Structure 1
């Protein structure tokens, strides 16, 4: 379960993490009234579950009433990476001099939670991890004992945070870990954690994702989930209609597979070969032709997708049925919207390879070759 920014900030504020004054609005008039009450300048921020809102025009800074009205009109109702914006957070603008990143997640390789701090806040932390991994200080935590104060201080000092700020930042990091632990979190982060000219430390953004299987322990989060179901993604509605396990991501390589493990392997390989996955889509076992056609319809509907890779291993699912579904879906188009790469293995894979219309798809024998080809197609499509 992923909370909206305004919900995560409420959880953080309740735990004692400083956050800017803010109000939620679903109309232009409400947004303007909120801005007038809070006082200018204010940030008007789309409340949707996507990254990169600012670059996509979903966050704007209003200096006066006219701008607040104009920006609220621009953002409310806009299509932001496939999501219709139905609410905005009107928030006190923070006059900052520096930005930090703090976060807590699970390091599956180490089998322990890890707290992270970086002085490169305000940018995509995944990019920082790839381009300058030394810029992120990490401290692993034994969940049996929780985060000790010295661990929080060590992470903060290792990241190079100024000593004048170290006490406040380490306190926020400890609180963030406690939230992550108490709420059965998968990820908790503040990016950016803003530093003002008065050396105040304020959470200008907030992320909190929790384990769906633990929600029975958190009725307060269940209420938030129900209250927050307003963003109306057409792709998610299609996924519900078709009965797919589907998660939208930020990349441009569409991924379709049968089985969660197989799809996750494909995601990892796309990343390994320099691509960015656009989605997780598991068609399940025993998928018939129409179900495969529905999966393609979903991925083609994502405007971010520049190529599609099929990774099917036949057990219950027969390769010839998958091939029929792919042909059936693609033959509906006068022109294929995006290049499709197919890898079939297992039950009736040879029969499926013979059935596939190679005028419509690219066929590769190995998963590695299929992923590399799809990444190359995506790079071409994004240029």
Structure 2
């Protein structure tokens, strides 16, 4: 789950990371009130999860209430790379002496956390990595050992941060790692991390991606979910607790497991079709979950065929089949359905499905056969 900047700063503040004083605003008058509370001058910033806000006119400096009204009115409703601005963050403006970069994420290949620090902040880190890779200090952190003050100092020194910023940067790196580890994040990034003209170091921006797998430990994360950012299909899926990503194709996909769902999308593409979505129902292929999944798929008018791809492991095949049959009795489906059922007790499951098979509900023995049939029913020329 990606947080907006203001949410990321709120998350940082929980772990003692210094951020600029500011407030959230959904209207022009709320923006003025937030500016008065933060103290002039302020920066009015569009809250969208996309880069390039400044170049698109989504970040403006304001010296008084009149300028806040002008900028807030112009930014609210602005389209920035397909993202409509509905919310603003208004914060006290910072006098910047220098800009740096700091982040923690997971390096799966190394099976360790990866810390990165650079004296070249304020620009895309990908650009720095491409044009001047030596400007980024990197350090792998053993998850069992944690991140020490000595490691923080080593990073800051290798990155070439000036003496005036080192103590503040070391302290923030330790706080940032706590935010990353204890806060169950996949990524925490400060760009820029700034040294002010007064000699203070603090986070001027915040990028935080939370690990959805840890959501059961964090009921407070519900406040971060902005369902307005999703399209209608994704809003419906989220309301039903489903892992769903909308795509632009004609073959609706339901699979149990993220890996299988991705493979199903791939095989549909392989045989000449185009997936309409990624939908992972996990291990819970019971009647309620299946009915919810079919309802979401059915809400997409572009779907011409549905491919249900289930591999039974702990979930048994006959239970999956019963769930599908029950779900079909609860949801009126517009598109034909192709089912591939394999794994534990798959034969028993297929026998159950035979009782409801028709030209609108077709069982296929393999994933490839099922993909070809689904693509054909969707009107494509299956390979």
Distance 1:11 1:284, change over 3 A: closer
Contact kept, 8 Å, 2:262 with 2:278, in 1: the verdict is no
Matches within 5 A, 1:113-262: 113-222=113-222, 224-225=223-224, 228-229=225-226, 232-233=228-229, 236-241=231-236, 245-246=244-245, 260-261=258-259
What secondary structure sits across from 1:50 in the alignment? coil
CA 1:94 to 1:284, structure 2 compared with 1: closer, same or farther past 3 Å?
Answer: same
Partner of 2:103: 103
CA deviation map 1:158-213 (0-9, x unaligned): 11111221111011011100111101110011111111122211211112211112
In structure 2, relative to structure 1, the CA distance for the partners of 1:208 and 1:318 (3 Å cut) is: same
Q: Quick one: structure 1 residues 129 and 236, their matched pair in 2 at CA, closer, same or farther if it must change by over 3 Å?
A: farther
Residue 368 of structure 1 is matched in structure 2 by none
Residue 94 of structure 2 is matched in structure 1 by: 94
When normalised by structure 2's length, the TM-score is 0.67
| 8 A contact 2:46–2:75 mirrored in 1 | yes
Structure possessing the higher radius of gyration over alpha carbons? 2
Deviation string for 1:25-73 (max 9, x for gaps)? 1110111122233232211112222233222322222233222111101
Three-state SS of the structure 1 residue aligned to 2:190 is strand
CA pair 293-178 structure 1, distance change in 2 beyond 3 A: same
Question: Where does structure 1 differ by over 4 angstroms across 4 or more consecutive aligned residues?
Answer: 240-244, 256-265, 287-293
Matched, 1:58 2:58: yes
Per-residue CA shift, 1:130-169, capped at 9, x if unaligned? 3322221111111112101111111111111112211110
Are 2:371 and 1:318 equivalent residues in the alignment?
yes
Q: Deviations over 1:310-335 (max 9, x none)?
A: xxx953642253255365xxxxxxxx
Q: Shift in Å at residue 91 of structure 1?
A: 0.5
The answer on whether the counterparts of 1:57 and 1:75 sit within 8 Å (CA) in structure 2 is yes
CA distance in 1, matches of 2:10, 2:298: 44
SS of 1:187's equivalent in the other structure is: strand
* Residue of structure 2 in register with 1:352 after alignment: 382
What is aligned with 1:300? none
Does the C-alpha gap of structure 1 residues 129 and 323 become closer, same or farther in structure 2, counting only changes over 3 Å? farther
Q: 1:213 to 1:283 in 2, by over 3 A?
A: closer
Q: Cα 1:190–1:263, aligned 2, differ >3 Å: closer, same or farther?
A: farther
Q: How many residues align?
A: 295
Would the aligned equivalents of 2:261 and 2:280 in 1 still touch at CA under 8 Å? no
User: Counterparts of 1:177 and 1:247 in 2: how far apart (Å)?
Assistant: 33
Give unmatched runs, 5+ long, in structure 1: 268-279, 297-312, 328-350, 354-383
State how far apart, in whole Å, the 2-side matches of 1:213 and 1:164 are. Answer: 39
Cα RMSD for the two superposed structures = 3.7
Residues 137 and 318 of structure 1: CA distance in aligned 2, closer, same or farther (over 3 Å): same
